[in-house]
Amino acid sequence: MLGAAGLLVLACALLMLSVSGAAARAQPVELAAPYEYMGWGDPQPPAEVLDDSGLHDLTLAFVLSKGACNPEWDGHRPLLGGVDQAAIEQIRGAGGEVDVSFGGWSGKKLGNACHSLTALAGAYEKVIDAYSLRAIDIDIEHNELRSKKVRQRVTAALALVREADPDVEISITFPSSQSGPEATGLSLIADAVAVGLHPDSWTIMPFDFGAPSGTMAAASIQALEALARELASAYGISEAEAYEEAGISTMNGHTDEASETVEQQEFASVLSFAGERHLARVSFWSVNRDRPCGGGAPEEECSGIEQAPLAFSSMLAAYTG
């Protein structure tokens, strides 16, 4: 039997384990969570991705509209009982957490399908509640970003979500040119400021803009510098504070443009810059592609460059903000 001293030592040890566990999960879910898309290509098993790379979390994409203001995965896979719920359970079973992303380039977006901000906020909340989420990402692109009316609806709905669930992390992800946010992105930031929305991360996607001037790393850093200036001006904060509310989501390997390639050393440069400025979020598209092609052209399932399996994921796993 343990004496009083032994019981005290045991209690202290259990307390230290509890504190260390809480500290480990104190890392924001969105900080270093690359995208994986369970409806595309040949997805790598999420739990194996975490185990093999050292990542804590993943961003699962994409929730869209099923004909009306009704959220489903890709607009046709159910929230519960399908491969996406199974992926979430696998991630959590491996000790990780999930960030759910709404939107993307293709498909019918909830921002367009939900015709009032309360309906749109309700659609976001339905997904949050279905999985007891700690983080959501609004990847606003294409026709959802193009319409000012929809942009305003999205930001106002997210303000309602923030009011209802203040502990849920919110990232807003949108395209960017090499010189920073374009007119629609600047309008989106202004719309958020107007309704008092302060997301945890404004994340730009600096790719698919054609041949960069210089390397993709230099283009990404230039875009991030411009984003920080814009956030500082819009919110009335310092640039140092703005960087801590900024993020980047790049592509690993070949992008959709033949003139753009993000090599591993370029991703390392972006990660180094992110660490120096303490960016709120670093991600990439996608885990599905984080493996070599075996001599084939880059498609949904590979990066198109020479790399080890999960090379980008393993690099991102070391990012701590």
What lies within 8 Å, CB to CB, of 191 at 6+ separation is 148, 151, 152, 155, 156
pLDDT digits (tens, 9 = 90+) for 24-37: 457 999 999 999 99
245 is a catalytic site residue: no
User: What pLDDT does 296 receive?
Assistant: 60
What lies within 8 Å, CB to CB, of 21 at 6+ separation is none
May I ask the CATH architecture of the domain 31-317? Alpha-Beta Barrel (3.20)
Structure tokens belonging to residue 7: 């019981």
pLDDT digits (tens, 9 = 90+) for 123-155: 999 999 999 999 999 999 999 999 999 999 999
Per the CB < 8 A criterion, the answer to whether 250 and 270 are in contact is yes
Among the listed residues 72, 141, 241, 299, the single catalytic one is 141
DSSP per position, 306-318: ---TTHHHHHHHT
Using a pLDDT cut of 90, give the percent of the chain over it. 85
Residue position matching structure tokens 């339905």: 126
Count CB neighbours of 34 within 10 A: 28
Question: What is the average pLDDT score of the chain?
Answer: 92
Question: Bridge partners of 136?
Answer: 100, 170
pLDDT digits (tens, 9 = 90+) for 268-306: 999 999 999 999 999 999 999 999 998 666 778 999 999
